[in-house]
Structure 1
Amino acid sequence: MKPIFRSVALIGKYQGPAAGATPDTLRQAIKNIAGFVEQQGCELTLEAGTAANTGLTGYATLDIDGIGRHCDLGLVVGGDGTMLGVGRRLASYGTPLAGINKGRLGFITDIPLDGYQAALTSMLAGDYEEDVRPLMHARVMRGAECVFEALALNDVVVNRGSTSGMVELRVEVDGVFVSNQRADGLIVASPTGSTAYSLSAGGPILHPSIPGWVLVPIAPHTLSNRPIVLPDETEVAIEVVSGRDVSASFDMQSLASLQHGDRVLVRRSAHRVCFLHPLGWSYFATLRKKLRWNEGGS
């Protein structure tokens, strides 16, 4: 079978080893995957940081923007966190991504490292499941000025500092007042992020095909403040009314320190991320495995 992806980029997590792995074994894994992809007839490019930190030579290298401009597919070696970061940065280019997990299988990085050859052989030839996920675009407004903005694939979170008390937040949807909430914080999660922080805070799981997101209070002072599912064509505004050391985070990566009166505006991004999975992939099978739904039955 001939590959339908002419140019493939390999992007590896090199900041730290996976459980039970060493830097040398991870370097060897990336080298093995690179050689395998070339054997399938593809042009292999290493992400520049991956090449520098693994010491691998003999391959063309590009930065993330270069990969977006020139490569047909990105192979991400790492966990869901690595994939989230790469997905945000490549979203504007429309580059599809497939994830090889070097630790425990994730929700979106679902090709096991010990079985990548069989999965990639078929996927590179065009036999795969396509999974398109929306991105969130968030801005921090201080008066009329945007002081920070970021994309998020999982969630946007406004919360209190680790040593401070509750925060008070005013919430609007499309300019319509919803409520003033006193809580440890508030989460706006996409369907992708509904199985992350949102889930641990009591939010529902949203199927990836649902065009919506969920608004989830974190430890609310009033127990009747419950999660609510909203259409993702709306704009959510979260204003800081009171509280100390309040911050906003975007996929738990980038942080913005907030002042009283700051407004965090969240809307659907114009960009989406396309993940590729092995043929036969099922979202429900992933939930069963990750959430252990089959355990404890009679």
Structure 2
Amino acid sequence: MTSRNHFHQVALIGKYQSTGSGTSGAASRQGLDAIAHYLMDQGCDVVLEADTAANMGMARYTAMDVAQIGSHCDLALVVGGDGTMLGIGRQLAQYKVPLIGINQGRLGFMTDIPFDDYQNTLGPMLRGIYEEEARSLMQGRVERDGEVVFSALAMNDVVVNRGATSGMVELRVEVDGHFVANQRADGLIIATPTGSTAYALSAGGPVLHPAIDGWVMAPIAPHTLSNRPIVLSNASEIAIEIVSGRDASASFDMQSLASLLHGDRIVVKRSQHQVRFLHPKGWTYFDTLRQKMHWNEGVA
């Protein structure tokens, strides 16, 4: 192990869910294997996240589950897309393990290192030369008759949606116990700054810089056009009650779903945990916006 190395035990997490055993699966395995060998050449002890190792047939590496990674590793390297990063970020936040993302997906707002350039980029970062930022998380829960029937963390957003074949839902919205409005819409999005470039953006919400301690509350196709997105403090507690509408559901980062009944309350507040991201030295959030949202296109 080289003395200059800032990180010693590094976990690799891959995008195994959608690869399977075909060509894309083989390419993903080869990519992970190449990154693992590069890390070992840099003096790192490398482990694979257990599901990654099992599903991609990489049994020759030491495997750890998320709790073990949180206890033993001082860096997690996520190879995939934003969905992969969202999933592992929620799980590792409580352990304060920093994350670096290598993009093998499409957009890559959070996995910002191109796969083809990982060696040039990772070298200085492994020696402690990087930018660090923290991203906030939401803690969401569904209350029914005064009892919590569902709870989950979200890094992007909490979304209340109407049923696929039904009309609008009516939602009673409160902030810190204060009545805001009864809203008729296809749904309502509560998004973190991280999630402000996801579903909330397509609903007309603003882009929030990650340093802002705020959330976006954006209606989806509201009945009243004056019902506009609003930015709220993330110290607030938001409660959404289902007043009417059939087959409504709540989703947390589009991963966890809960079927909702009239009178159910979806309560969202700031989590005590944050996700730690590491970026190449000199990186800024505006680099990501320019690259992923093509802000420079058409500029002479």
Where on the TM-score scale, by shorter chain, does this alignment land: which range? over 0.9
Tell me if structure 1 keeps the 8 A contact 2:135–2:275. yes
Residue 4 of structure 1 is matched in structure 2 by: 6
CA shift, 1:102, in A, is 1.3
CA shift, 1:119, in A, is 1.0
Residue 262 of structure 1 is matched in structure 2 by: 264
- Runs of 5+ in structure 2 lacking a partner? none
Q: Stretches of 4+ moved more than 2 A in 1? A: none
Tell me if structure 1 keeps the 8 A contact 2:36–2:46. yes
CA shift, 1:297, in A, is 3.3
Work out the CA distance in 2 between the residues paired with 1:204 and 1:21: 39
Deviation digits for residues 193-243 of structure 1, max 9, x if unmatched?
Answer: 000000000000000000010100000000000001000000000000000
**Alignment counterpart, residue 96 of structure 2, candidates 84, 94, 97:** 94
Work out the CA distance in 1 between the residues paired with 2:169 and 2:299: 41
Alignment of 1:153-164 (within 5 A): 153-164=155-166
Work out the CA distance in 2 between the residues paired with 1:104 and 1:80: 8
The percentage of aligned residue pairs carrying the same residue is 66
Tell me if structure 2 keeps the 8 A contact 1:134–1:273. yes
TM-score normalised by the chain length of structure 1: 0.97
Alignment of 1:83-232 (within 5 A): 83-232=85-234
CA shift, 1:105, in A, is 4.8
Work out the CA distance in 1 between the residues paired with 2:119 and 2:5: 14
Work out the CA distance in 1 between the residues paired with 2:107 and 2:175: 36
Q: What is the SS of the residue equivalent to 1:22?
A: helix
CA shift, 1:104, in A, is 3.1
- Runs of 5+ in structure 1 lacking a partner? none
TM-score normalised by the chain length of structure 2: 0.96
**Bigger shift: residues 280-289 or 234-243:** 280-289
Residue 45 of structure 1 is matched in structure 2 by: 47
**Bigger shift: residues 275-284 or 160-169:** 275-284
Residue 36 of structure 2 is matched in structure 1 by: 34
Deviation digits for residues 15-40 of structure 1, max 9, x if unmatched?
Answer: 1249x962111111100101111111
Deviation digits for residues 163-212 of structure 1, max 9, x if unmatched?
Answer: 11000000000000000000000000000000000000000000000001
Determine whether 1:235 maps to 2:234: no
Deviation digits for residues 249-283 of structure 1, max 9, x if unmatched?
Answer: 00000001110000000000000000111112121
Tell me if structure 1 keeps the 8 A contact 2:82–2:105. no
Q: What is the SS of the residue equivalent to 2:123?
A: helix
Q: What is the SS of the residue equivalent to 2:288?
A: helix
Work out the CA distance in 1 between the residues paired with 2:275 and 2:265: 26
**Bigger shift: residues 254-263 or 50-59:** 50-59
CA shift, 1:42, in A, is 0.8
CA shift, 1:57, in A, is 2.9
CA shift, 1:84, in A, is 0.4
Work out the CA distance in 2 between the residues paired with 1:188 and 1:173: 12
Work out the CA distance in 2 between the residues paired with 1:177 and 1:158: 18
Work out the CA distance in 1 between the residues paired with 2:258 and 2:107: 31
Q: What is the SS of the residue equivalent to 2:208?
A: coil
